[in-house]
């Protein structure tokens, strides 16, 4: 059983919970996920099964789309609605749409983020959330994040009684982006504390929410012997790669992980990035330019070594 499953993770579950349940449903231990989602967040969670686990890293590298809500007026320990309030500043009047949009626009392109204390980033061998749970603070490393777009989806709602203001947003971003931090930084640009009050991941790993299936639907498909209707082939994981189809002669070399001249794959010039090698309509290997040997490409990952696997 090999393939990729676009799962819809429900709230209240960790990504590992989903993997644990799927191992039982699918009767296989070789299950992994392509991108962690916090328990309070629902949305698309790509799942890799069997040999599909070999392409997890490529799904993780792909862009993601989130829709959520930002609330101004107070910040929390976790930067989302689940944490304790650490700073509060009631708004005496609402910000205009123009002010909000301008702040959000400043957070597009390549930006620098400082990961939340409640995150899985490692510092000195320990994850930040381990320090946070003990009430300890450490210096957090800055990280680069790519924000392709960050836009407001709704009119801002002002609550004069609570002194808060909220609106819905959509962000298209690269891997490693902390949307919670994006929300907090929006507040900082406006001069007030803020947090992410809601979040859903609507796309990840090349999958949209319309393609995603729930755990219950996977269990039903498994029981009805219709798993192939929801489990996509491994080839989906490399669908955005440059594709090269090879002959049997080259296949014999590729399956043994040989380094080869770029001309062996039909290129007229050296490729600048990795590419997917197909034999008999199956992806068998990912190759990349050799960093030291001129004109040579080498395997980045061998996916299959025998036909019929």
Asked whether residue 271 is assigned to any structural domain, the reply reads yes
Which range has highest mean pLDDT (61-70, 101-110, 116-125)?
101-110
Considering the domain architecture, whether residues 150 and 209 belong to the same structural domain is answered as no
Considering the domain architecture, whether residues 58 and 167 belong to the same structural domain is answered as no
To the query of whether residue 61 is one of the catalytic residues in this protein, the response is: no
Considering the domain architecture, whether residues 93 and 189 belong to the same structural domain is answered as yes
Considering the domain architecture, whether residues 138 and 219 belong to the same structural domain is answered as no
Specify the pLDDT at position 169. 98
CATH, residue 274:
2.30.130.10
Considering the domain architecture, whether residues 219 and 271 belong to the same structural domain is answered as no
As a whole number, mean pLDDT of residues 231-260 equals 90
Using the predicted structure, report yes or no on whether residue 96 has a pLDDT greater than 90.
yes
Considering the domain architecture, whether residues 130 and 220 belong to the same structural domain is answered as no
Considering the domain architecture, whether residues 15 and 88 belong to the same structural domain is answered as no
Number of domains in the chain: 3
Using the predicted structure, report yes or no on whether residue 230 has a pLDDT greater than 50.
yes
Asked whether residue 309 is assigned to any structural domain, the reply reads no
Asked whether residue 289 is assigned to any structural domain, the reply reads yes
Specify the pLDDT at position 308. 55
Using the predicted structure, report yes or no on whether residue 309 has a pLDDT greater than 50.
no
Rounded to the nearest angstrom, the gap between the alpha carbon of residue 193 and the centroid of all alpha carbons in its chain is 27
Using the predicted structure, report yes or no on whether residue 177 has a pLDDT greater than 70.
yes
Considering the domain architecture, whether residues 175 and 119 belong to the same structural domain is answered as yes
Can you tell me the distance from the alpha carbon of 72 to that of 185, in angstroms, rounded to the nearest whole number? 11
Which range has highest mean pLDDT (59-63, 143-147, 169-173, 224-228)?
169-173
Asked whether residue 119 is assigned to any structural domain, the reply reads yes
Asked whether residue 228 is assigned to any structural domain, the reply reads yes
Considering the domain architecture, whether residues 68 and 196 belong to the same structural domain is answered as yes
Asked whether residue 307 is assigned to any structural domain, the reply reads no
- Residue 266: CA count within 13 A, CB half-sphere: 10
Considering the domain architecture, whether residues 58 and 84 belong to the same structural domain is answered as no
Cα angle vertex 256, ends 253, 260, to 5°?
Answer: 45
CATH, residue 33:
3.30.2350.10
Using the predicted structure, report yes or no on whether residue 60 has a pLDDT greater than 80.
no
Domain limits for position 18 = 3-62+205-236
Asked whether residue 97 is assigned to any structural domain, the reply reads yes
Structure token digits, residue 137: 């603070």
Average pLDDT of every residue of the chain:
91
Work out the pLDDT band at 307, boundaries 50, 70, 90. Answer: low
Considering the domain architecture, whether residues 257 and 162 belong to the same structural domain is answered as no
- Write the CA distances from 157 to 163, 191, 209, 230, integer angstroms: 11, 18, 26, 39
Per residue in 109-119, pLDDT (tens digit) is 999 988 877 77
Can you tell me the distance from the alpha carbon of 132 to that of 185, in angstroms, rounded to the nearest whole number? 20
Can you tell me the distance from the alpha carbon of 300 to that of 277, in angstroms, rounded to the nearest whole number? 11
pTM metric for this prediction:
0.87
Can you tell me the distance from the alpha carbon of 224 to that of 18, in angstroms, rounded to the nearest whole number? 20
Q: Single out the residue in 152, 186, 204 at which a domain terminates.
A: 204
The catalytic residue among 38, 42, 80, 185 is 38
Tell me the angle at which helices 215-223 and 15-26 cross, rounded to the nearest 10 degrees: 10
Considering the domain architecture, whether residues 78 and 196 belong to the same structural domain is answered as yes
């Amino acid at each position: 059983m090999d393939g990729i499953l676009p799962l819809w993770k429900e709230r209240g579950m960790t990504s590992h919970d989903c993997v644990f349940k799927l191992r039982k449903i699918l009767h296989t231990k070789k299950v992994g996920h392509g991108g962690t989602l916090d328990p309070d967040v629902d949305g698309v969670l790509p799942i890799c099964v069997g040999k599909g686990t070999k392409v997890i890293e490529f799904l993780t590298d792909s862009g993601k789309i989130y829709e959520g809500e930002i609330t101004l007026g107070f910040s929390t320990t976790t930067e989302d609605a689940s944490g304790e309030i650490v700073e509060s500043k009631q708004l005496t009047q609402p910000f205009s749409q123009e002010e909000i949009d301008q702040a959000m626009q400043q957070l597009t392109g390549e930006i620098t983020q400082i990961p939340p204390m409640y995150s899985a980033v490692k510092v000195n061998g320990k994850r930040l959330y381990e320090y946070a749970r003990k009430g300890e603070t450490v210096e957090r490393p800055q990280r680069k994040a790519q924000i392709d777009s960050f836009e407001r989806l709704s009119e801002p709602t002002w609550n004069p009684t609570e002194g808060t203001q909220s609106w819905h947003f959509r962000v298209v971003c690269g891997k490693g982006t902390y949307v919670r931090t994006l929300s907090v930084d929006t507040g900082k640009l406006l001069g007030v504390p803020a947090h992410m009050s809601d979040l859903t991941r609507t796309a990840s790993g090349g999958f949209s929410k319309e393609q995603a299936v729930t755990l219950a639907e996977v269990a039903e498909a498994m029981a009805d012997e219709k798993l192939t209707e929801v489990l996509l082939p491994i080839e989906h994981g490399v669908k955005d790669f440059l594709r090269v189809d090879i002959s049997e002669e080259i296949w014999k070399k590729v399956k043994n992980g040989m380094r080869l001249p770029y001309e062996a794959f039909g290129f007229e010039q050296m490729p600048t990035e990795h590419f997917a090698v197909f034999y008999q309509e199956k992806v068998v290997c990912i190759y990349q330019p050799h960093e030291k040997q001129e004109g040579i490409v080498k395997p980045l990952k061998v996916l299959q070594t025998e036909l019929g696997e």
